[in-house]
Amino acid sequence: MDEIERMVNEVDEKYREGNVRIPSGCAICGYFSKKGRALPAIDAVDAMAYMHDRSNGLGGGFAGYGIYPDFPDHYAFHIFYDNEHAREETESFLKIRFDISNMERIPTKKVYGISGAPLIWRYFGRLEPEVKAHTELDEEEYVCQTVIHINTKIKGAYVFSSGKNMGVFKGVGFPEDVGEYYRLGDYKGYCWTAHGRYPTNTPGWWGGAHPFNILNYTIVHNGEISSYDANRRFMEIYGYKCTLLTDTEVITYIIDYLNRKRKLKLEDVAKVIAPPFWSQIEKMEEKEREKLTTLRNMYASLLITGPFSIILGYTGGMMALNDRLKLRSMVAAEKDDVTYVASEECAIRSICPNPDRTWSPAGGEPVIVELEKEGR
């Protein structure tokens, strides 16, 4: 999109994510092969099409894991630019910190229903050994801060994917159109998650679409959490800056904080985010009771209330979780080595007509699937 088109499509900055808080409803789905088989992305696109009415054309996106086998140890940065100037500034910022092995425009295709796209680039890079040697931060934290810096300090640039051997593809439009736009038919991976958005704001900004990503974590989320500001203000104590003001952003940070920084196991992360009620905890056997009481007390401000269903993607695994009252629909299914999760069962059956088993996970009970050991 050049400057002329931009004038036509100019998004009212006032209502962009980050300037205003936008509640939204959504459709989500995800699937994961425990054996690490490369599953086609196009299934996710088809499944989302079945849940068309859960989106309103203001955002759709996909995340795939194991999709860049040629660059398994490189950080894959996917970046939106509003203009060439932002791209030049970002690239010079990146190049002094990363050894970039490959950079290109992400291949796209003209699709009816997709307009107003920014410039979309990707870079595969490794942290310069010199930088690594001198920073006080560990490598992941350094990369994380780099992304935050670009997103907050470089006007017109937005890193929307920054993990290794994984990538996010998202934009404004219905998810099936976004999938076609990014030519997802060309991608395969052991895990895919997808998101269709129903925001209550009128404009729609590409960066505001989901999945939301930081390092290897991606989150697709359906719901509006009422604990948002309590969660946000806690995360900001630990240096996270919630610039988009979206639920998904803060949930991703919470998981990053608990799982990556505090080394909490994912099943315990789920117990912090969506803990059992005190009345349930009191009835548990002593060890479990003490553990959950301690976790609930120490990370009290990370409890998320309000309706949500989320699918977390991470290297080698996928976790689906509902809020503790299960105020959002979410169905899971299994067929052979593949586990499916979606807002609606129809979406699963559209791509897996005869699953071995389907079930509706209880509120607060995470569904966690990981690669079998030899598959890693």
Partner 1 sequence: MIDYIQPDYEVVRNKDLCIKCKVCVRQCANEVHQYDEKRDVLYADNSKCVNCHRCVTLCPAKALKIVKTDHCFKPSANYTTEIIKDIYRQADTGGVLLSSMGTPKDYPVYWDKMLINASQVTNPSIDPLREPMEIKTFLGRKPETVKYREDGSIEVEKFPNLELKTPIMFSAMSYGSISKNAHLSLARAAEQLGIFYNTGEGGLHEDLYKYSLNTIVQVASGRFGVHEDYLNAGQAIEIKIGQGAKPGIGGHLPGKKIGPEVSRTRMIPMGTDAISPAPHHDIYSIEDLRQLVFSLKEATNYKKPIIVKIAAVHNIAAIASGIARSGADIIAIDGIRGGTGAAPSRIRDNVGMPIELALAAVDTRLRDEGIRNNVGLVVAGSIRSSADVVKAIALGADAVYIGTPALLALGCHLCRSCHAGKCNWGIATQNPELVRRLNPDIGYKRLVNLVNAWSHEIMEMMGGMGINSIEALRGNRLMLRGIGLSEKELEILGIKHAGE
Indicate the residue among 151 and 231 with the shorter CB distance to partner 1.
Answer: 231
Interface residue with partner 1, options 24, 90, 193, 248 (CB under 8 A): 24
Interface residue with partner 1, options 300, 356, 360, 362 (CB under 8 A): 300
Specify whether 26 is catalytic. Answer: yes
Stretch that binds partner 1, among 102-110, 178-186, 209-217, 320-328 (CB under 8 A): 320-328
Interface residue with partner 1, options 137, 298, 346, 362 (CB under 8 A): 298
SS (H, E, C) the chain: CCHHHHHHHCCCHHHCECCECCCEEEEEEEEEECCCCCEECHHHHHHHHHCHHHCCCCCEEEEEECCCCCCCCCEEEEEEECCHHHHHHHHHHHHCCEEEEEEEECCCCCCCCCCCCCEEEEEEEEECHHHHHHCCCCHHHHHHHHHHHHHHHCCCEEEEECCECEEEEEECCCHHHHHHHCCHHHCEECEEEEEEEEECCCCCCHHHCCCEEECCEEEEEEECCCCHHHHHHHHHHCCCCCCCCCHHHHHHHHHHHHHHHCCCCHHHHHHHHCCCCHHHHHCCCHHHHHHHHHHHHHCHHHCCCCCEEEEEEECCEEEEEECCCCCCCCEEEEECCEEEEECCHHHHHHHCCCCCEEECCCCCCCEEEECCHHHC
Taking CB under 8 A as the rule, does residue 23 contact partner 1? yes
Indicate the residue among 79 and 272 with the shorter CB distance to partner 1.
Answer: 272
Q: How far is the CB of 30 from partner 1 (least distance, A)?
A: 22
Taking CB under 8 A as the rule, does residue 202 contact partner 1? no
Interface residue with partner 1, options 4, 279, 353, 376 (CB under 8 A): 279
Indicate the residue among 83 and 305 with the shorter CB distance to partner 1.
Answer: 305
* Sign of the dihedral through C-alpha 34, 40, 46, 52: positive
Interface residue with partner 1, options 102, 152, 202, 294 (CB under 8 A): 294
Residue numbers 32-51 binding partner 1 by CB under 8 A: none
Q: How far is the CB of 26 from partner 1 (least distance, A)?
A: 11
Number of residues in contact with partner 1, rule: CB under 8 A? 45
Only one residue has tokens 């051997």, namely 165
Indicate the residue among 53 and 229 with the shorter CB distance to partner 1.
Answer: 229
Indicate the residue among 294 and 360 with the shorter CB distance to partner 1.
Answer: 294
Residue from 99, 319, 128, 134 nearest 220 by CA: 319
Indicate the residue among 213 and 227 with the shorter CB distance to partner 1.
Answer: 227
Taking CB under 8 A as the rule, does residue 200 contact partner 1? yes
Q: Which residues pair with 199 in a beta bridge?
A: 24
Interface pattern 221-260 for partner 1 (x via CB under 8 A): --xxxxxxxxx-xx-xxx----------------------
Taking CB under 8 A as the rule, does residue 301 contact partner 1? yes
Residue numbers 87-116 binding partner 1 by CB under 8 A: none
Taking CB under 8 A as the rule, does residue 6 contact partner 1? no
Mind telling me the catalytic residues? 26
- Binding positions for partner 1, rule: CB under 8 A: 21, 23-25, 200, 223-231, 233-234, 236-238, 262-265, 268, 277-279, 287, 291, 294-301, 303-307, 324-325, 327
